[in-house]
Structure 1
Amino acid sequence: MEKKMKRSKEKKSKKKIMIWILGSLLAIFLGFLGTAYYTVQKTMNKINTPLLETNAAEKEQKTITKKEPFSVLMLGVDERENDSGRSDTMIVITVNPKKQTIKMLSIPRDTRTEIIGHDSVDKINHAYAFGGVPMAMDTVENFLDIPLDYYVFINMEGFLQIIDTLGGVTIQNDMDLTYNSYHYPKGEVNLNGDEALIFSRIRYEDPRGDFGRQIRQRQIIEAVMKKASTPSVLLKATDMLDVVGENVRMNFSVKDLIQLQGIYKKMNSDIDQLSFEEGSGTKINNIWYYIPEEAELQQIQTELKTHLQ
Structure 2
Amino acid sequence: MKKALIIALIVVSALILIVGGFALYVYVSFSSTADDMHAPIDREGSSIRSDEINFADNDPVSFLLLGLDTQETDYGRTDTMIVVTVNPGEQSIKMLSIPRDTNTELVGRGWNDKINHAYYYGGEKMAMDTVEHFLDVPIDYIVTVNMDGFEEMVDAVGGITVNNNLEFEYDGETFKKGELELSGKEALAFVRMRHNDPLGDSGRNDRQRQVIEGIIREGADMSSVTSIGSILDAIGHNVQTNMAFQDMIDMQSYESSIHDLEQLTLSGEHDRLDGVYYYVVDELNKARVSSTLKEHLELE
TM superposition score category, shorter chain reference: 0.7 to 0.9
User: Which position in structure 1 is the counterpart of 2:282?
Assistant: 293
Q: Give, in whole Å, the separation in 2 of the partners of 1:170 and 1:108.
A: 25
SS in 1 for 2:82: strand
Residue 42 of structure 1 deviates from its aligned partner by 0.9
- The alignment's C-alpha RMSD in Å is 3.5
Question: What's the counterpart of residue 198 of structure 1?
Answer: 189
1:248 aligned partner:
239
From 202, 215, 218, give the equivalent of 1:211: 202
Query: Residues of 1 paired with 2:263 and 2:207: CA distance?
Result: 17
Alignment of 1:134-283 (within 5 A): 134-179=125-170, 181-231=172-222, 233-263=224-254, 265=256, 273-277=263-267, 279-283=268-272
Give, in whole Å, the separation in 1 of the partners of 2:27 and 2:90: 34
> Is 2:38 the counterpart of 1:48?
yes
Which structure is larger by alpha-carbon Rg, 1 or 2? Answer: 1
CA distance in 1, matches of 2:219, 2:263: 25
After superposition, where does 1:10-25 map in structure 2 within 5 Å? 20=11, 22-25=13-16
Determine if contact 1:74/1:91 at 8 Å carries over to the other structure. Answer: yes
Residue by residue, what CA displacement relative to the aligned partner does 1:29-74 show, whole Å, maximum 9, x if unpaired?
335442244322110111233332399x8x8964434254432222
Query: CA separation in 2, counterparts of 1:302 and 1:163?
Result: 33
Q: Retained in 2: the 8 A contact 1:54–1:135?
A: no
Give the C-alpha shift of residue 85 in structure 1: 3.2
- For residue 70 of structure 2, the aligned residue among 75, 79, 82 is 79
Aligned with 1:51: secondary structure?
A: coil
2:13 aligned with 1:34: no
CA distance in 1, matches of 2:32, 2:74: 28
Unaligned runs of 5+ in 1: 1-17
| TM-score, reference length from structure 1 | 0.77
Residue aligned with 1:276, SS:
coil
CA deviation digits over 1:197-225, x for unaligned, max 9? Answer: 22232121222333333332332333233
Q: 1:126 to 1:207 in 2, by over 3 A?
A: farther
Q: CA separation of 1:242/1:298 partners in 2, compared to 1, >3 Å: closer, same or farther?
A: same
* Structure 2: distance between partners of 1:172 and 1:131: 38
Question: Which residue identity is paired with 2:33?
Answer: T
Consecutive unaligned residues of structure 2, counting only runs of 5 or more, are: 1-8
The equivalent of 1:14 in structure 2 is none
Matched AA of 1:40: F
TM-score, L = length of structure 2: 0.79
Q: Which moved more, 1:151-160 or 1:108-117?
A: 151-160
Q: Secondary structure at the match of 2:41?
A: coil
Counterpart amino acid of residue 43 in structure 1: T
Structure 1 residues 223 and 82, CA gap change in structure 2 (3 angstroms): closer
* Structure 1 residue 122 displacement after superposition: 1.2
